[in-house]
Amino acid sequence: MNAYDEYMKGIVVPMRQELTSHGFKELLTAEAVNEHMSEAEGTSLVVINSVCGCAAGLARPAVIEALQQTAAKPDHLVTVFAGQDKEATAQMRHYFEDVPPSSPSIAVVKDGQLAYFIPREQIEDHDVEHIRDHLAQVLEQVAGE
């Protein structure tokens, strides 16, 4: 591993922990993504994590707050890390072929099918409360069915 990879690995640890400490399971390989997507029943909340500022200041806090505020809890909380777990992220994006790659982003998957997608454009330049409320509303519609 080169110095850059080692440096980035150290930086992303707290960014990973922000989600894993709230119940998210990291899917670190393409195989793990395929296993989750083929076996998970019900609703999965998928966060495509990223090192950018809008992930740190907006996406991750909004996801955590939405989960705390809504009664419509997803059955599964999973995450892949764009730019870090490249194969896993590419494989997850394969399941959302009609959606341009976007990170950070948030997907709601129901029984293996994409039910809703919140791209970076709906995260960046929005406030945490707006993103939180948007996601909570989506979860109530999809997971609350």
Catalytic residue (choose from 40, 52, 59, 139): 52
Q: How far apart are CA 107 and CA 70, in angstroms?
A: 16
- Averaged pLDDT for residues 109-131: 95
pLDDT given for residue 92 in this prediction: 97
Beta bridge partners of 45: 77, 108
Is the full-model pTM beyond 0.85?
yes
Instruction: Clarify whether 54 is annotated catalytic.
Output: yes
What confidence category does residue 120 fall into, taking pLDDT thresholds of 50, 70 and 90?
A: very high
Q: How far apart are the first and last CA of the chain?
A: 46
pLDDT given for residue 79 in this prediction: 98
Q: How far apart are CA 124 and CA 104, in angstroms?
A: 9
Q: Domains for the chain: give ranges and CATH numbers.
A: 24-144 (3.40.30.10)
What confidence category does residue 4 fall into, taking pLDDT thresholds of 50, 70 and 90?
A: confident
Q: Cα–Cα distances in Å, from 1 out to 28, 83, 108?
A: 17, 15, 34
13-72 residue pLDDT tens: 999 999 999 999 999 999 999 999 999 999 999 999 999 888 889 999 999 999 999 999
- Give me the amino acid identity at 38: S
pLDDT given for residue 11 in this prediction: 85
pLDDT given for residue 145 in this prediction: 67
Catalytic residue (choose from 28, 54, 90, 115): 54
Helix axes 86-94, 30-39, angle to 10 degrees: 30
Residues near 59 by Cβ (< 8 Å), separated by ≥ 6?
47, 49, 50, 104, 105, 106, 123, 131
Whether 81 shows a pLDDT value over 70: the answer reads yes
- Averaged pLDDT for residues 103-130: 95
Q: How far apart are CA 140 and CA 52, in angstroms?
A: 28
